[in-house]
Amino acid sequence: MPGELFTVSTQIGQIFHALGGSPNLSEAVHQVMLQIAPLKNTSPIKADLERVERNLAVPNDPEAVSRARNILSGIEGGLVGQACKPGEVSLPQEVQERILSLIQNEGEIAKEDSQRSLRWNREAYVRNFLREAGENPVIGGRYVEWSPLKEAPVFSAATGRKVYTKNERFQSIRCFKNRGAGFLLSHEKIRSMITGKSRELGGNSHGNAAQGAVRQAKNWRLDWKPVLLNLPIKVAAMKHQSCVEMGALVKLFGKIFEDGEANMKRWQREDPEGRLFVPAYDHLLVVAGQGSLGEEILEDMASRGHDKFAVVAPFGGGGLLAGLGIALEGEKRSIRVIGVNTSKVPFGHDSFKAGQIIRPERQDIETVCEGTLLLDTGSAGFPYIRRHVSDVVLVPEELVQAGIAMYHDFGEIIEGSGALPAAALVFGFIQALDLPPDLPIVLVESGGNIDDDVLEESVHSNGGGRWMEMMPPENRERLAKFLSN
């Protein structure tokens, strides 16, 4: 049974990655349905495949293709979870060895790429694994939705250039953090299958990465014990509640993120064989998982005829920005990758400008961008931010609040960190970088988990179009003309 399911999952993965590029996918889906017909306990899979067939039957509809992608992604991950049981590993031996070597020798592969005598080239490893994840259902069954990339007519009108949004609020936890946690825990799943040993999981974050760790622990069936989470005392209430509802053991620890981080590292050191700390950003595999977002952007933009563009993303600990840079090979492909900090948390920006990680003294900061509220830029991703990110800009906190209100006025809910890219664009900070006027821009909307009081305050201060008053005159005039038509 596991072998049959694994074979079917491989076929599902092939269909998933061929979407949009083959005219015969409906027939391929039909053949998979015939193959699973005699298997037991596959009624939900059959129902999902019928939904895929219906969506593929809609001609020239990108939204239907996107829905088909997401359904197939869920089917593939579920099949892998059923097929991969301890002692029944279907991965080639060389891949098993690579993963075990990665786990056991992280310190060695973390050295700079200039030391070519090392067996591992760190960046090449991440990039190769991103490619490999598309072909191998165990590694690629990430339980991550292919989030929609859509045209953004309001932002395009305001700036006079083509703008797209990559909406990570579409994920099951309403943010991108499923990606890094899923990629790291897919490796932990393989490790546990090879060794026959499972480890207790723990995490620390402002809430989004914690949700990702808990969700992916369940997806990969690694939650044999409740995931232990440290969250700051001032964590957003909705993020705290979500973690508890998913079954995590939550401890409110310390005033700032770094308090919980240090505590969780001590927790793992006490029993490294039996415990695994899932970092929010500062780990090679987390960086690689966030890079899957860049892979999606590449494919989606290519399907729209764009091989040169800019991607603007929030900059917290640097896992997302580094992953995007590696996947997009920023600069090398004439793709610009741009990070955004709020002026209240400028430490990523300061490190980037200095060319080295700047570690400020401990401080308690209030910001609507709590997802980027980190004093320490991650050492795992910073070398690739330096190499592949073209610039980092600062946006005043009041304009981030205006960005939240702007989204709300158009019927969308977004958290402060997720609003950073759009705020940087419409309020003129991206234009100041003097990008080519015909260069399309992709805004990464990283999440939508915002507490009601933060949303209400932002809307009360800037809603009803008052945010337009803060735009550069030329942007405001273009947008006013667009909205009046």
For residue 153, what are the CA distances in angstroms to 161, 164, 294, 410? 10, 8, 22, 12
Dist CA 119 CA 42 (whole Å): 43
Longest alpha-carbon distance in the chain: 65
> What's the confidence (pLDDT) of residue 28?
62
Enumerate the domain spans of the chain: 1-83, 149-175+285-484, 178-282
C-alpha closest to that of 265 among 224, 218, 230, 233: 230
Dist CA 350 CA 346 (whole Å): 6
Dist CA 298 CA 292 (whole Å): 10
Q: Which range is most confident: 44-48, 360-364, 464-468?
A: 464-468
Whether the predicted pLDDT of 70 surpasses 90: no
Confidence of residue 107 (pLDDT cuts 50, 70, 90): very low
Q: Which range is most confident: 232-241, 263-272, 471-480?
A: 471-480
Mean pLDDT of 362-379: 90
Mean pLDDT of 330-354: 90
Whether the predicted pLDDT of 340 surpasses 90: yes
> What's the confidence (pLDDT) of residue 154?
96
- pTM metric for this prediction: 0.77
Return the higher-pLDDT residue of 86 and 442: 442
Looking from the CA of 435 toward its CB, the CA atoms found within 13 Å total 27
**CATH, range 178-282:** 3.40.50.1100
What contacts 24+ positions apart, CB below 8 Å, involve 10-13? 10/137, 11/35, 12/72, 12/75, 12/76, 12/79, 12/137, 13/76, 13/134, 13/135, 13/136, 13/137, 13/140, 13/141
Which segment of 218-227, 303-312, 332-341, 429-438 scores lowest on mean pLDDT? 218-227
Coil/strand/helix, residue 140 = helix
> Helices 284-303 and 319-328: crossing angle, nearest 10°?
50
> What's the confidence (pLDDT) of residue 23?
46
C-alpha closest to that of 291 among 381, 219, 213, 211: 381
**% of the chain beyond a pLDDT of 90:** 47
Dist CA 112 CA 210 (whole Å): 29
> What's the confidence (pLDDT) of residue 222?
84
Q: Mind listing the pLDDT tens digit for each residue in 449-485?
A: 999 999 999 999 999 999 999 999 999 999 999 999 8
Mean pLDDT of 281-307: 89
> What's the confidence (pLDDT) of residue 393?
98
The domain 149-175+285-484 having CATH identifier 3.40.50.1100: the answer here is yes
C-alpha closest to that of 284 among 318, 328, 246: 318
Matching CATH topology for 149-175+285-484 and 178-282?
A: yes
Q: Which range is most confident: 35-39, 147-151, 190-194?
A: 147-151
- In this structure, what token pair is assigned to residue 49? 């495949």
Beta carbons within 10 angstroms of residue 255's beta carbon: 13
> What's the confidence (pLDDT) of residue 113?
31
Cβ atoms 163, 156 nearer than 8 A: yes
Q: Mind listing the pLDDT tens digit for each residue in 390-428?
A: 999 999 999 999 999 999 999 999 999 999 999 999 999
